Chain A
């Protein structure tokens, strides 16, 4: 998953999409994660970082992460792959 180049992420939790002009807000952990994604961390790295730091179990985080990335995709902040490629 890659964040598009046109997406600007500010340190206080705001996201601006220069392609569409839309703005978004993040909670602190959302900001932490989107920054890791933008820095090309993969899911395993992100999971390890979060699990080490926060009081959350593996499966719960995986579920929340899946929902979060779905929303990033939905808001067109990430590169869109053809969902029917089944890769």
Chain B
């Protein structure tokens, strides 16, 4: 006799008032393949967990952003925010598309140089620049974004000693109606500090002021904030021209555009609520174009967009290790990827999806990682179908920050692969091993 399809027995409580999702056929989304390669095949070939990047999505997202901005504003230049994802293969795609490099450390600076980025196409940000780092930047003609007065005076001293010119901008913090206000970086606009810094730079023979920089925060849900920042920068530019007869070459509005991820605590999914590139572009270009800056002197608009350009292109494939019931009867599952690989899980309710059709029976579930630590929670509450050990799941929109902020903890960091435009998968960062981890360890007792 032909046997019937088996499904695991389930009982769930009906809660008054709260719609019971049990048994409802809210169709569960499946991610069965990434750029036409089956998820199971990727995991079989490269292991689990596994980060997967799509070159196609990177290029499409970049071009969409670029084209959108260019329809609103004549001169736009993206500079790839290295800290968001500085794997060589990823940076190279952005540079191939025409992005400059935005770096915040000498490590990132050297990485950009080694990838063939011209020094003059590097924006050097951040509060941590030693004398030696600044000399390197000056020698490469980079755009140095000065963070504080100590750095400004150090630059004056170094350029005199070297008898060389440095191309500089200042980092400005300003009230764009965004909270928290990131006022720990740069010179403040409202209290006149930025204007003082500009005046001091204009007096220094060896400093050439070429731009203004700000970064008003990250995951900014209001396009309006960018409009306010652009208006304030336009006023500064007009002021500089009035006093020094100089039109600055660029204004750099930093990063911060929201990606489609859903913030923890948000009621609606990020894909529904985050502004589009068009919203941001309109707010910024309106502010600059309607300012007093004459059309022929409009500055280049630099954007250091990070997460909004790369989040969607990154996936993490993971496997189910166990199904459990907590003492309260709640369903929990344990997967083989922990918060050490998914820094952004502290911010976002990341989307987790099965990779094949499973049962339609959904249940409120907690998803834990494999670390022996209580904080290792990937999702504290997600309506999720029944899965078995060994099932592959896919976590989406993990392209930003995870492969730079990941931590090596109790095990090896996994392979990272890139699927190229021909649909072929390449390892772009190899899984760690005992040897690679030990290479800088020394043991005086042996």
Interface residues of A (CB under 8 A from B): 14-15, 22-30, 32-34, 50, 53-56, 61, 64-65, 67-68, 70-72, 74-75, 77
How many residues belonging to B are interface residues under a CB distance threshold of 8 Å?
A: 20
- Evaluate contact between B7 and A27: CB separation under 8 angstroms: yes
Residue of A nearest to B16 (CB): A23
8 A Cβ contacts from B322-351 to A: 323, 325, 328-329
Give 20 pairs: A residue, B residue, CB < 8 Å, sorted on A. Answer: A24-B11, A24-B14, A25-B11, A25-B12, A25-B14, A25-B20, A25-B22, A26-B11, A27-B361, A29-B9, A33-B9, A55-B5, A55-B6, A61-B6, A64-B8, A67-B8, A68-B9, A68-B10, A71-B10, A71-B329
Give every chain A residue within 8 A of B10 (Cβ-Cβ).
26-27, 30, 68, 71
Tell me whether chain B's interface is mostly helix, strand or loop, or mixed.
loop
Give how many A-B residue pairs fall within 8 Å (CB-CB): 72
Chain A hits for B6, CB < 8 A: 29, 50, 54-56, 61
- 8 additional contacts (CB under 8 A) given A29-B6, A67-B325, A68-B9: A29-B8, A29-B9, A33-B9, A50-B6, A55-B6, A70-B325, A74-B325, A74-B328
Give A14's nearest chain B residue, CB to CB.
B14
Q: Is B177 an interface residue (CB 8 A)?
A: no
Q: Are B9 and A75 in contact (CB under 8 A)?
A: no
A24 and B6 CA atoms in complex are apart in Å by: 21
Contact across chains for B11 and A53 when beta carbons are under 8 A apart: no
Pair A30/B3 contact, Cβ less than 8 Å:
no
What 10 pairs between A and B have smallest CB-CB spacing?
A56-B6, A30-B9, A74-B329, A54-B6, A55-B3, A64-B8, A23-B14, A68-B9, A29-B9, A27-B10
CB distance from A25 to the nearest CB of B (A): 6
Complex Cα spacing A29 to B6, Å: 8
Output the least CB separation between A69 and chain B (Å).
9
B1-45 interface code vs A (CB 8 A; 1 in, 0 out): 001111111111110000010110000000000000000000000
Closest to A57 in B: B6
Cα–Cα, bound, A52→B431 (Å): 45
Of A54, A65, A68, the contact of B3 (CB 8 Å cutoff):
A54
Determine the chain B residues whose CB is within 8 A of the CB of A29 once the complex forms. 6-9
